[in-house]
Structure 1
Amino acid sequence: MTYSAVMPPRQVKIGDAAIFAGTTPRAIRHYHQIGLLPEPDRGVDGRRRYGYDDMIRLLWVRRMAEAGISLDDMRAAFEDTPDIGEVLGRLEETLAAQEAGIKRQRAAVQRLQAVGSPLGLLSELVTDRLRDLPPGSLRPADLEGLLVTERIFGPHGAAIQAGVFIVLAAHPELRAENDRLEAAEAALDDGVDPEDPRVEDLAMQRCAYQLALNRASTAAGLDAEEERLFDTLDIFGDSTEKEEPRLMSAIKAVTKMPYDWSPARNRCVERAGQLLGEALAAADAADCQRAPA
């Protein structure tokens, strides 16, 4: 074998250039189109021929792409512009966010493995609070409710709601009463007038149920933890969608979630909330009167 037989060619075609750089001819053509890789000389057959300098440029492009540098920012790197430090700073922030996202994904997978149900897809705060529930305590509708609550009020709001299911798991009579009330409320969707006396009566029953649920929660020692969680809620939301698309205020989120409840059912829910607020305010006033001066 002679020395000249092992010497590389002075120029290579686009296919060989792509193989050597670890990319594709299509990607190289795109680099040409956006001006990132200068057009090389063409041979007598009209095809591109890549020399040593072309290959070095292509290799640097591939290394920067692997580092996560965008194609637009690569130009600044090649031109050695003064704002390259800013480009690298943005890249560092992007990589840090991606790293945090991967950690969240791994944590979710680990929770799914540990919990063995869709509950593991919710936040760690919610999952941990419900981890010790007996099997079968959570129904599909319960998980759906937690999913919606977490989207609207965040992990702390869903963790507060999780306390309801802790109480229901220990009080089957309350679970049965809730089932009865939900069935009666669903019946309001069958053309019932919002001013029908059944709406007010059902709202009073729902209020009474909620008060009983609150008493059971207090007896179980859950109220202190839920009060702490409630203090962390951000109902109006300081984050803007421009800053973080995944976040929005609870007030705005509520308007985005569709419900097919009838006016009568909506009125029942609204009225039950009013009655509960009045009952809790009256209880607080009574406590203040009993408190020593």
Structure 2
Amino acid sequence: MHPSLIPPRLVRIGDAAAFVGTTPRAIRHYHAIGLMPEPERGADGRRRYGYEELIRLLWVRRMADAGVALESIRDAAAADDLAATLERLGRSLAAQEAELRRQRSAVERMRARGARLGLLSDLVAERLEGLPEGSIREADLDGLLVMERIFGPVGAAANASRTVAMATDPALREESDRVETAEGALDDTVPVDDPRVAQAAAQRHAFETRLLDVIERSGIAAQEQALIDAWEAEHPDDAGEPSERVMSAVEAVGKTPYDLSPARVRCMELVEELAAR
């Protein structure tokens, strides 16, 4: 018989799948979603695949390996619009790549700085660089993480000046601990007119006054402003108004768990009154 009269060789679905590098189940799925037409079946009722079908399977396999969704491959083939599909895929992969770089940078930052410090933005973390080892407490970092969520990097960096001042002045840290202990004792058993409420308020006011004086005289405030100015110059889109990811202070109060006794609330009011004088 002349070679041109010899019918083309057809293979079964298992052989076609093995050649392409997929599975018979995957090929059946291609048929089910309309990605490939059903091939002719042999006398035994089984599907048979020829050269053109194998080419189509290889094409689908390569496209899927590149990240193109099967539905997109089907639609592109039907509309003969493969170029547009690849263009969209390119943009999507570029965005994913940028996100992976951001995630990797965040992981490396946490590894280099330590888990807790690494959770803070670069601006806030840089504000704490060079401080004596062990001078920053975990509670300080946790508080700054909350501040950054509410007020953004700039607001948290400004608040970090308190941490810097206490980290470099042990006496100031001790006074802060005494004030917090006095305030912590104002639980639900303490009446709002108890003398301890006014005493704790006076202690807090005196401490805050001294703290602000230390921040100004030591140059901490100037360092803070210089870092913030440099950061805002490098991130003009993030300067000024908080980003959408930053929660308003009012919203944060409604979503943050807290348990302030009436005596503690009264203490805070008295501190505000003292500061306003």
Cα 1:108–1:265, aligned 2, differ >3 Å: closer, same or farther?
A: farther
Give 2:66's aligned residue: 67
Cα shift at 1:104: 1.9
Alpha-carbon distance in 2 for matches of 1:84, 1:253: 47
Give 2:13's aligned residue: 13
Cα 1:249–1:233, aligned 2, differ >3 Å: closer, same or farther?
A: farther
Q: TM-score, normalised by structure 1?
A: 0.70
Alpha-carbon distance in 2 for matches of 1:223, 1:189: 34
Local SS of the residue matching 1:175 = helix
Local SS of the residue matching 1:107 = helix
Deviations 1:131-186 (A, max 9, x none): 31222122221222222222333333332232222111111111112222222333
Cα 1:128–1:50, aligned 2, differ >3 Å: closer, same or farther?
A: farther
Alpha-carbon distance in 2 for matches of 1:156, 1:94: 32
Cα shift at 1:75: 3.3
Higher RCO (Cα < 8 Å, 6 or more apart): 2
- 8 Å contact 1:11–1:52 — kept in the other structure? no
Which residue type is aligned with residue 106 of structure 1? R
Which of residues 259, 267, 276 is equivalent to 2:257? 259
Give 2:166's aligned residue: 168
- 8 Å contact 2:202–2:271 — kept in the other structure? no
Describe how 1:225-240 pairs up with structure 2 within 5 A.
Answer: 225-227=223-225, 229=228, 232=239, 234-235=241-242, 237=243, 239=244
1:220 aligned onto 2:218: yes
Give 1:154's aligned residue: 152
Cα shift at 1:30: 4.2
Alpha-carbon distance in 1 for matches of 2:70, 2:55: 17
Give 1:278's aligned residue: 276
Give 2:176's aligned residue: 178
Identical counterparts, % of pairs: 47
> Which has the higher Rg, Structure 1 or Structure 2?
2
Which residue type is aligned with residue 12 of structure 1? R
Alpha-carbon distance in 1 for matches of 2:40, 2:267: 75
Alpha-carbon distance in 1 for matches of 2:98, 2:271: 39
Which residue type is aligned with residue 130 of structure 1? L
Alpha-carbon distance in 1 for matches of 2:268, 2:38: 69
Cα 1:75–1:116, aligned 2, differ >3 Å: closer, same or farther?
A: same
Alpha-carbon distance in 2 for matches of 1:76, 1:164: 59
Which residue type is aligned with residue 67 of structure 2? G
1:124 aligned onto 2:127: no
Give 1:283's aligned residue: none
Local SS of the residue matching 1:35 = coil
Q: CA RMSD in A?
A: 3.6
Q: TM-score, normalised by structure 2?
A: 0.73
Which residue type is aligned with residue 72 of structure 2? D
Alpha-carbon distance in 1 for matches of 2:121, 2:65: 32
Which residue type is aligned with residue 77 of structure 2? F
Describe how 1:190-205 pairs up with structure 2 within 5 A.
Answer: 190-193=188-191, 196=194, 198-205=196-203
Cα 1:56–1:213, aligned 2, differ >3 Å: closer, same or farther?
A: farther
Which residue type is aligned with residue 76 of structure 2? A
Runs of 5+ consecutive residues of structure 2 not aligned to the other structure: 1-7, 233-238
Which of residues 109, 112, 115 is equivalent to 1:111? 109
- 8 Å contact 1:204–1:275 — kept in the other structure? no
Which residue type is aligned with residue 141 of structure 1? A
Q: How many residues align?
A: 261
Alpha-carbon distance in 2 for matches of 1:260, 1:20: 64
- 8 Å contact 1:200–1:271 — kept in the other structure? no
Alpha-carbon distance in 2 for matches of 1:95, 1:118: 31
Cα shift at 1:127: 2.3
Cα shift at 1:81: 6.2
